[in-house]
């Protein structure tokens, strides 16, 4: 009998091969069964997560509202309660909310248990601007909404800006609006409410700025160096109050003598006739 590498190989019989296959199957069965169970669990979990109610949006919560009603925002949102949380696109929802004129900023966050938290920043109107109709404008100078009676706002009106110029040459006329808003903001800070709060600010590229106060006083500021003119006005108003006299028109727009202040007083007969102009120095 040959040995080693030359030993003749003896084939197994059919019975031996069947027993070997059966033994291999018995050893592999637990692994196959486990893999099958895992696959079934994954499939069931996927169906539960994707098609089930476990991750459906149950609530949409709005934060930061004072003027806007939630129903108005829900009408704009491309999301509804019952939608799948994983399929909500926060950026798309934020863009939709920004279509509301009072929304300045929106941030949408997904939460668990399934809900959406919506953080909003509302615009704050600081003035009305006349552009062929009254429109609301915020502190940044953005005209964002046509004014309606339901807005319930008592704000200064900026006039003198042509609508066509605003639409076609905004870069040219926008500084007029920006300057008027800065003036409206500086007015109470400088304690210039003596003749009343600002009712109207009229801007003109040629003649400058004119303020009309709530009591009808017309204050002509002209162009340039408004800060100095407001300081001068701040010294004048207490003097007028001390004299008990009401100014009808205050001129701070003398181009040849910008340091002069001319005052036209209201008549004393109650009919509003003008008195003689008076001049107040620096």
Sequential pLDDT tens for the chain (282 residues): 455 555 555 555 666 766 665 666 566 556 656 666 655 455 444 555 555 678 899 999 999 999 999 999 999 999 999 999 999 999 999 999 999 999 999 999 999 999 999 999 999 999 999 999 999 999 999 999 999 988 888 899 999 999 999 999 999 999 999 999 999 988 887 767 666 789 999 999 888 999 999 888 999 999 888 888 988 898 888 888 888 888 899 999 888 888 888 999 887 443 333 333 444 443
Closest CA to 217 of 266, 255, 253: 266
Q: What is the pLDDT of residues 100-123, one digit of tens each?
A: 999 999 999 999 999 999 999 999
| Token duo for residue 233 | 């006005």
What confidence score (pLDDT) does residue 71 get?
A: 97
What confidence score (pLDDT) does residue 257 get?
A: 86
What confidence score (pLDDT) does residue 127 get?
A: 96
CATH code of 125-280, in short, is 3.40.50.11690
Q: What is the pLDDT of residues 28-63, one digit of tens each?
A: 556 656 666 655 455 444 555 555 678 899 999 999
Residue 4 DSSP symbol:
G
Enumerate the CATH 3.40.50.11690 domain ranges in the chain, comma separated.
Answer: 125-280
Enumerate the CATH 3.10.20.310 domain ranges in the chain, comma separated.
Answer: 59-122
Is residue 69 within 8 A of residue 127, CB to CB? The reply is no
Phi, psi of 199, deg, nearest 5: -100, -40
CATH class of 59-122: alpha beta
Residue 112 DSSP symbol:
T
């Amino acid at each position: 009998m040959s040995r080693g590498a030359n030993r003749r190989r003896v084939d197994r019989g059919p019975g031996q091969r069947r027993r070997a296959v059966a033994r291999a199957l018995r050893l592999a069965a637990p692994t196959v069964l486990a893999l099958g169970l895992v696959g079934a669990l994954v499939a069931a979990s996927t169906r539960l997560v994707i098609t089930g109610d476990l991750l459906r949006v149950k609530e949409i919560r709005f934060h930061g509202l004072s003027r806007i009603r939630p129903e108005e925002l829900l009408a704009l949102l491309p999301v509804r309660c019952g939608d799948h949380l994983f399929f909500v696109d926060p950026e798309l929802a934020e863009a939709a909310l920004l279509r509301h004129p009072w929304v300045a900023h929106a941030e949408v966050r997904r939460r668990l248990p399934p809900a959406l938290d919506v953080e909003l920043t509302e615009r704050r109107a600081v003035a009305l601007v006349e552009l062929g109709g009254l429109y609301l404008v915020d502190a940044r100078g953005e005209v964002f909404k046509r004014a309606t009676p339901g807005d319930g706002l008592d704000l200064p009106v900026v006039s003198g800006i042509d609508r066509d110029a605003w639409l076609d040459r905004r870069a040219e006329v926008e500084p007029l609006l920006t300057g008027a808003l800065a003036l409206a903001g500086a007015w109470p800070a400088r304690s210039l409410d003596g003749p009343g709060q600002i009712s109207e600010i009229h801007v003109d590229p040629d003649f400058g700025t004119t303020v009309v106060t709530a009591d009808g006083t017309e204050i002509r500021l002209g162009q340039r160096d408004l800060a100095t003119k407001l300081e001068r006005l701040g010294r004048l108003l207490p003097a007028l109050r001390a004299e008990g006299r009401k100014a009808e028109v205050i001129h701070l727009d003398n181009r040849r003598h910008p340091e002069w202040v001319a005052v036209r007083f209201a008549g004393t007969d109650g009919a509003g006739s003008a008195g003689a102009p008076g001049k107040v120095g620096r």
